Amino acid sequence: MSTADHSPPGPLRRFLGVPFRTQTYSNLAYLALAFPLGLAYFIGITLGLSFGGALVIVWIGVPILLGTIAAATVIAGFEAALARRLVGTDAQSPPSLRGFDPSNVPRPGEGVIAAVVRFLLRPTTWTSLLLVLVKFVFGVVAFSALVATGATVATALGAPLLYDQPGVVYHVGGYTVTTLETALAISGAGLVGVFVGFYLLNRLAEAGAAVTAALLDVANERSDAEPADPGSDGDAGAS
């Protein structure tokens, strides 16, 4: 009687299966979104910080700065959701956003200053700002990797169809393709490049999502920000 083999696939099988997994295309979507989102985040937060800093001397800059920092925290929460849903990374939203209820926002005179101070003292408030810069840099890297990989693979795969077209001088790298045999060899290399490219792009997406998760898990910050009961350990020790 035979039993089913439930052991995880080996490295070669995982490598060859990369183009056929839906997770691969989810990761590619994460990479494709990184540049436009990162650019938008960077421009918006930079403008907010610049205007707020310039106007802080007349006090109107203070709410602008606070609003910009709060916006960065919201951006961080959105990025955590993208990392979870597209890449499958366990990225937690900043504690300031967990269980947030707009109806419980304090009104003037009802502890606003204390709430702002608590918000500003959270480590993830500042790592969320750092995440905006990191996302912009990651977006540039992701965009470059996608374009370079796609152009290289498409050029190689298209060699047998295009190398002998009238008026076409087909170059791959620094080499001019002039024969069908060479074109087929280059196309074969392009097919291998599909697997290698998908594999590396998957790793890049996972790395980007992991950085997001790490920045939002700084110091293992608790969502409730409440100190432990000081009497619990003492009672246990005295019994």
Mean pLDDT of all residues in the chain? 81
> What is the total count of domains within the chain?
1
Q: Show Cβ contacts of residue 146 under 8 Å, excluding neighbours closer than 6 positions.
A: 28, 31, 32, 201
- Please give the residue that has the higher pLDDT: either 225 or 36: 36
> Is the residue at 88 inside a domain?
yes
What are residue 115's DSSP bridge partners? Answer: none
| One-letter identity of residue 40 | A
pLDDT (mean) for 22-29: 94
State the Cα–Cα distance between residues 237 and 158, nearest whole angstrom.
74
Tens digit of each residue's pLDDT (9 = 90 or more) over 158-192 = 888 777 677 677 776 677 777 788 888 888 888 89
> Is the residue at 99 inside a domain?
yes
185-217 in b/e burial notation, b at 16+ Cβ within 10 A?
ebbebbeebbeebbbebbebbbebbebbbebbb
Please give the full DSSP string across 43-84, using - where no structure is assigned. HHHHHHHHHHHHHGGGSTHHHHHHHHHHHHHHHHHHHHHHII
> Is the residue at 20 inside a domain?
yes
> Is the residue at 234 inside a domain?
no
> Is the residue at 52 inside a domain?
yes
Both structure tokens of 110: 């009802």
State the Cα–Cα distance between residues 78 and 93, nearest whole angstrom.
8
8 A C-beta contact, residue 207 and residue 33: no
Q: Show Cβ contacts of residue 115 under 8 Å, excluding neighbours closer than 6 positions.
A: 106
> Is the residue at 7 inside a domain?
no
> Is the residue at 46 inside a domain?
yes
- Please give the residue that has the higher pLDDT: either 203 or 159: 203
> Is the residue at 235 inside a domain?
no
Tens digit of each residue's pLDDT (9 = 90 or more) over 147-164 = 999 988 888 888 887 776
Which domain, by its residues, includes 24? 12-220
